[in-house]
Amino acid sequence: MEQRSPAAYVAEFIGTFALVFFITSAVVLWVTPGGGGGSDFAVVGLVHVFVLFMLVLSLGGVSGGHFNPAVTAAFAAMRKIRPNDAVVYILLQLSGAVAGALMTKYILADRVVDPSGPVAQSPEVGTPALNHTLLQSTFAGAVVEGLGAFFLVWAIVAVAVNPRGLKDWAGLVIGGTLGLIVLVAGPLTGASVNPARWFGPALVSGSWDDAWLYIIAPVVGGVLAALAYWNLFVEARFGRAPAPETGPKINQPGS
């Protein structure tokens, strides 16, 4: 594994900034009752699809397109990124997330949260929060976040890391998977599945409720998905992973 370039570090900061800015803006506008559209997770889900599709295709070839500490931890577990690069990636993802949340706070007017709304959100920056009226328990929320991260990383490894993956479809598959997760998990936990996406708005709003859940569950889910997919469907089938076939390189984590 080669040392990541400064361009890769910049890409992770910009990508996480864009991810958090567009998602938190959509949450404030479409989920918080003070927003213009009431509560519409279909719109929020589509925003997730579009922004991740754009970021994977525009920056995936530069940094690998992580934009999520859970993804970086999963890549580190597979030894697809050097430990020192993983640390720098995570620090830049957290910084980009804070910058994205600050941009949302700066652009959008303050809104008042309606306690009767379907999911409690920070009024200014769309901090993910548990909906205790729908969830069986706080641990059930952790399971939701862990499962969401599991299938997100599962999709990433399948199409972007697997040497025989359909890399031409990487942007759509990864973005679509995140959108699918949001449509189901959004009303339950806010569908962070990304410690950086939770951390930026939490720091800006000062809302630290259930912090362990949004940090630990996605990392555990992501690492389990990466190891499971790689060992079950790559190494178990081919032994050592074969060289990638010629074709478009959407996401090359070892470059």
Q: Provide the domain limits for residue 179.
A: 6-113+122-238
Reported in sequence order, the residue ranges of the chain that DSSP labels E, i.e. its strands, are none
Residue 1 lies in a domain: no
Residue 250 lies in a domain: no
Reported in sequence order, the residue ranges of 6-97 that DSSP labels E, i.e. its strands, are none
- CATH number where 140 lies: 1.20.1080.10
Residue 91 lies in a domain: yes
- Per-residue pLDDT of the chain (255 residues), as tens digits, is 778 999 999 999 999 999 999 999 999 888 855 444 456 889 999 999 999 999 999 999 999 999 999 999 999 999 999 999 999 999 999 999 999 999 999 998 765 434 444 444 445 688 999 999 999 999 999 999 999 999 999 999 999 999 888 999 999 999 999 999 999 999 999 999 999 999 999 999 998 999 999 999 999 999 999 999 999 999 866 555 454 443 334 444 443
CA distances from 227 to 81, 134, 154 (A): 14, 31, 9
Residue 225 lies in a domain: yes
Residue 58 lies in a domain: yes
Query: How much is the pTM?
Result: 0.87
Tally the C-alpha atoms within 13 A of residue 117's C-alpha that lie toward its C-beta: 28
**Number of domains forming the structure of the chain:** 1
Reported in sequence order, the residue ranges of 112-248 that DSSP labels E, i.e. its strands, are none
